[in-house]
């Protein structure tokens, strides 16, 4: 085993300003002085809108011509600069405080990925360079979110790749596994994993322990904690994972396996906003044609890479929510989509209509009448929705859980547009304006203020 | 735990071997849970939100746990384990709720890591299921799996399709 090796990952807000970086650097130095061998992983400096944030780099290309899509390979080279800057500045900060440090790109740290630019997955890590750095008494500072892809490993170099959402957490967790670390610590600007978003529930307590699968589900359902990919790696390699606050001495949240902590009945309430819900009414279609129509809908969503939430499939209708920023794509490809079914003698021409018919759809319907019977497939649109989810373990299988959730929302006159559930969660789709109230009500109804 | 400082430590070769990390993209495996009944409660009186609460109250008082609750235009539907079919039938009958029970239902659990970040993956699975002629009663998802309610016989057919590699291409 390595000697008390800790991976310390600092997110965007922890490295955004010189003061924040100094605080983060002091955490690293303090750990080292207590006998820990720290390996630092950093995100890009700052968040959206700040000079060196990922979005700022992307805008450098978009402002040339917003209609020309950047090449994914070039985009990866560009956005990886954010973490490179961050790592170099962090290493230099440590050096100025009297502690030798070396910055590493993902590839230099030995992180190899597959060749999917913008959403690469880590296939292997050879941390030799990081161990050598530690052996020389220096602190390695690794760029999160990136790796190297090479089709032929015998060749030098390789293509720079980025890991997609949650990339820096994933880097930290994977390095923890590769280096057999004693702990992976994810530093952020909150005290740990909370039972709810503090913007909705000010008094939401910090959970002291959660299981890997609980935290993965919480993240999947909208909470900005550890990314599921990072939790999965830590779980597979049984690495203790911590979420801590850079700016406070709170002990944080420890994420462990189920044999160390059995989980709790209800863990928390999460929310994902800015959704548009579409419910396609298939009752106007022939039963024999429904599979073709459903296949067209989902095939189109697949081709355009649309994320689907709150799936609702039944014989007479099919529905789902999509992120609002993806809705224009859905509208472009589905509104007015024409699906002819059957042969020349019995052809039915289906036309999809999203919400109220546009003049273009009306014209299309008139023109298509010469081809056969025209039927509309209407989709009812509900814009401005949020998915609020109750995450728990086993409790979801208890009688009356749905009743308790829906009853409190009905009493408070919050309209529930749809529900969804899985082994670990129960979700309701509500109007966006009611999001925070719904979180607060469910938090209260399920006694989460007392959870620790 | 060894508190030795790094300056006099040496890391062995066994610690620097390359290791596989993240699971491969796509579907890793499929599970089937059988022995379920789908319950459709229809034609509830207005206000429908209140009527749905009344149904859930009756089901909870009968001590029956439900899954896959879905709101439908005139009522709701959900899944119960098959040995509660009789209890549910009696409970709904006693409450005067018109209903339809579909027995022999199964849940197919399609495991695929990190599916939310793989663009279009959920749509891919649904589209290919539909193209295979498998009817879907309901679907939902978790961070590492999608859950699909269908007839038991179709669930096994779907599992065979996956095992034959038909859905990973």
CB pair distance less than 8 Å for A400 and B60: yes
CB pair distance less than 8 Å for B19 and A178: yes
B14 and A CB contact within 8 Å: no
Per-residue pLDDT, B23? 64
Please classify residue A243 by burial: count the beta carbons closer than 10 Å to its beta carbon, then call 0-12 exposed, 13-18 middle and 19+ buried.
buried
Residue B99 phi/psi, 5-degree rounding, is -150, 165
Across chain B, mean pLDDT equals: 79
Across chain A, mean pLDDT equals: 89
Per-residue pLDDT, A228? 82
pLDDT at A2 over 80: no
B130/chain A closest Cα distance in angstroms: 6
Residues sharing a CB contact under 8 Å with residue A387, sequence separation 6 or more, in sequence order: A221, A222, A271, A272, A275, A309, A310, A321, A420, A427, A428, A429
Per-residue pLDDT, A268? 92
Per-residue pLDDT, B18? 40
pLDDT in tens, A322-362: 999 999 999 999 988 888 887 767 778 888 988 887 887 78
User: What does the pLDDT average to over B150-161?
Assistant: 84
User: What does the pLDDT average to over A367-374?
Assistant: 80
A291-296, Cβ contacts within 8 angstroms, sequence gap of 24 or more = A291/B130, A291/B131, A291/B133, A291/B135, A292/A339, A292/A341, A293/A339, A293/A341, A293/A350, A293/A377, A294/A318, A294/B126, A294/B127, A294/B130, A295/B127, A295/B130, A295/B131, A296/A337, A296/A339
User: What does the pLDDT average to over B4-33?
Assistant: 55
CA-wise closest residue to A28 among A88, A91, A85, A105 = A91
Best of B3, B9, B11, B167 to disrupt the A interface (most A CBs within 10 Å) is B11
Label residue A33 by pLDDT band (50, 70, 90). very high
**In this structure, are residues A234 and A176 in contact, taking their beta carbons and an 8 Å threshold?**
yes
- Which residue of chain A has the CA closest to B19? A124
pLDDT at A370 over 80: no
Percent of chain A clearing pLDDT 90 (strictly above): 52
List the single range of A422-426, B8-12, B77-81 with lowest mean pLDDT: B8-12
B29/chain A closest Cα distance in angstroms: 16
3-state secondary structure of A428: strand
Instruction: Give the rounded distance of the alpha carbon of A20 from its chain centre.
Output: 24
CB pair distance less than 8 Å for B114 and A228: yes
pLDDT at A438 over 70: yes
- Which residue of chain A has the CA closest to B2? A3
Q: Which domains does chain B have, with CATH numbers?
A: 27-33+105-163 (3.30.70.260), 38-101 (3.30.70.260)
Per-residue pLDDT, B13? 40
Residues sharing a CB contact under 8 Å with residue A204, sequence separation 6 or more, in sequence order: A194, A195, A196, A197, A198, A268, A443, A448, A449
Per-residue pLDDT, B9? 41
A292/chain B closest Cα distance in angstroms: 8
Q: Which domains does chain A have, with CATH numbers?
A: 5-263 (3.40.1160.10), 272-383 (3.30.70), 384-445 (3.30.2130.10)
Which residues in chain B are contacts of A402 at CB distance < 8 A? 56, 66, 69
Query: Could you say which of B56, B126, B138 has the minimum Cβ distance to residue A298?
Result: B126
User: What does the pLDDT average to over B151-163?
Assistant: 81
Best of B2, B15, B21 to disrupt the A interface (most A CBs within 10 Å) is B21
B117 and A CB contact within 8 Å: yes
B41 and A CB contact within 8 Å: no
User: What does the pLDDT average to over B142-158?
Assistant: 82
3-state secondary structure of A212: helix
pLDDT in tens, A128-168: 999 999 999 999 999 999 999 988 766 667 899 999 878 89
Pseudo-torsion of CA A384, A387, A388, A392, nearest 10°? 180
Cα–Cα distance between A369 and A347 in angstroms, integer?
11
Per-residue pLDDT, B7? 36
Per-residue pLDDT, A206? 93
Exposure of B35 in the CB half-sphere (CA atoms within 13 A): 4
**pTM for the full model?**
0.83
Cα–Cα distance between A234 and A183 in angstroms, integer?
10
Please classify residue B13 by burial: count the beta carbons closer than 10 Å to its beta carbon, then call 0-12 exposed, 13-18 middle and 19+ buried.
exposed
Cα–Cα distance between A24 and B124 in angstroms, integer?
43
CB pair distance less than 8 Å for A314 and B131: no
User: What does the pLDDT average to over B87-102?
Assistant: 94
**In this structure, are residues A185 and A31 in contact, taking their beta carbons and an 8 Å threshold?**
no
Tell me the sheet residues that pair with B80: B37
**A388 versus B7: which is more confidently predicted?**
A388
Percent of chain A clearing pLDDT 70 (strictly above): 97
CA-wise closest residue to A243 among A259, A229, A256 = A256
Exposure of A204 in the CB half-sphere (CA atoms within 13 A): 24
Bridging pattern class, strands A418-421 and A425-431: antiparallel
pLDDT at A109 over 90: yes
**In this structure, are residues A180 and A240 in contact, taking their beta carbons and an 8 Å threshold?**
no
CB pair distance less than 8 Å for B126 and A314: no
**A219 versus A182: which is more confidently predicted?**
A182
Residue A374 phi/psi, 5-degree rounding, is -105, 130
B25 and A CB contact within 8 Å: yes
pLDDT in tens, B53-93: 999 999 999 999 998 888 888 899 999 999 999 999 999 99
Cα–Cα distance between A119 and A281 in angstroms, integer?
35
List the single range of A224-238, B31-45, B88-102 with lowest mean pLDDT: A224-238
Label residue A127 by pLDDT band (50, 70, 90). very high
Rounded to 5°, angle at Cα A260 from A257 and A265: 80
3-state secondary structure of A43: coil
**B164 versus B74: which is more confidently predicted?**
B74
Best of A313, A397, A426, A430 to disrupt the B interface (most B CBs within 10 Å) is A313
CA-wise closest residue to A142 among A39, A234, A227, A2 = A39
B139/chain A closest Cα distance in angstroms: 6
Per-residue pLDDT, A30? 97
């Amino acid at each position: 085993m390595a000697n008390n090796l800790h991976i310390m990952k600092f997110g965007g807000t922890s490295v955004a300003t010189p003061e924040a970086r100094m605080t983060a650097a002091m955490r690293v130095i303090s750990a080292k002085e207590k006998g820990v061998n720290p390996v630092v992983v950093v995100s890009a400096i700052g968040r959206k809108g700040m000079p060196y944030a990922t979005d700022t780099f992307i805008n450098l290309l978009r402002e040339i011509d917003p209609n020309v899509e950047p090449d994914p390979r070039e985009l990866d080279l560009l956005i990886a600069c954010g973490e490179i800057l961050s790592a170099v500045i962090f290493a230099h900060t440590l050096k100025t405080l009297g502690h030798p440090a070396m910055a590493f790109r993902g590839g230099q740290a030995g992180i190899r990925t597959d060749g999917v630019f913008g959403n690469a997955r880590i296939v292997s890590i050879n941390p030799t360079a990081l161990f050598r750095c530690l052996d020389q008494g220096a602190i390695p500072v690794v760029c999160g979110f990136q790796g190297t892809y090479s089709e032929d490993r015998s060749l030098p170099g390789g293509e720079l790749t980025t890991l997609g959402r949650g990339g820096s957490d994933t880097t930290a967790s994977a390095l923890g596994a590769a280096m057999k670390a004693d702990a992976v610590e994810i530093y952020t600007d909150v005290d740990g994993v909370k039972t709810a978003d503090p913007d909705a529930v000010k008094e939401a307590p910090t959970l002291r322990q959660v299981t890997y699968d609980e935290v993965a589900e919480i993240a999947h359902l909208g909470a900005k904690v550890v990314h599921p990919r990072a939790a999965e790696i830590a779980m597979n390699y049984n690495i203790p994972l911590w979420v801590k606050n850079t700016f406070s001495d709170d002990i944080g949240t420890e994420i462990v396996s189920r044999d160390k902590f059995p989980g709790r009945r209800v863990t928390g309430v999460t929310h994902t906003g800015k959704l548009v819900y579409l419910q396609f009414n298939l009752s106007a279609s022939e039963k024999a044609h429904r599979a073709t129509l459903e296949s067209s809908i989902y095939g189109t969503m697949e081709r355009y890479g649309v994320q689907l939430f709150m799936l609702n499939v039944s014989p007479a209708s099919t529905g789902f929510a999509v992120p609002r920023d993806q809705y224009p794509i859905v509208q472009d490809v589905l509104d007015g989509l024409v699906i002819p079914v059957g042969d020349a003698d019995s052809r039915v021409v289906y036309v999809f209509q999203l919400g109220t018919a546009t003049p273009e759809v009306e014209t299309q319907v008139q023109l298509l009448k010469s081809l056969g019977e025209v039927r509309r497939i209407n989709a009812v649109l509900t814009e401005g929705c949020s998915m609020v989810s109750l995450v728990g373990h086993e409790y979801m299988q208890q009688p009356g859980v749905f009743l308790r959730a829906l009853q409190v929302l009905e009493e408070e006159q919050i309209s529930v547009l749809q529900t969804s559930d899985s082994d670990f969660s129960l979700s309701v789709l509500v109007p966006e304006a009611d999001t925070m109230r719904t979180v607060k009500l469910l938090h209260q109804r399920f006694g989460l203020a007392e959870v620790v | 735990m060894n508190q030795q400082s790094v300056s006099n430590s040496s890391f062995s070769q066994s610690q620097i071997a390359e290791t596989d990390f993240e699971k491969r993209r796509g579907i890793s495996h499929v599970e089937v849970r059988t022995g379920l009944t789908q319950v459709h409660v229809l034609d509830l009186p207005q206000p429908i939100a209140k009527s749905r609460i009344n149904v859930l109250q009756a089901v909870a008082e009968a001590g029956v746990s439900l899954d896959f609750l879905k709101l439908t235009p005139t009522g709701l539907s959900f899944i119960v384990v098959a040995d509660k079919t009789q209890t549910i039938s009696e409970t709904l009958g006693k409450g005067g709720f018109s209903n339809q029970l579909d027995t022999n239902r199964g849940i197919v659990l399609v495991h695929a890591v990190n599916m939310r970040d793989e663009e279009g993956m959920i749509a891919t699975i649904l589209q290919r299921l539909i193209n295979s002629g498998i009817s879907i009663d309901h679907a939902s998802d978790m961070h590492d799996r999608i859950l699909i309610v269908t007839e038991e016989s179709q669930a096994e057919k779907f599992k065979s399709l996956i095992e034959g590699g038909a859905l990973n291409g």
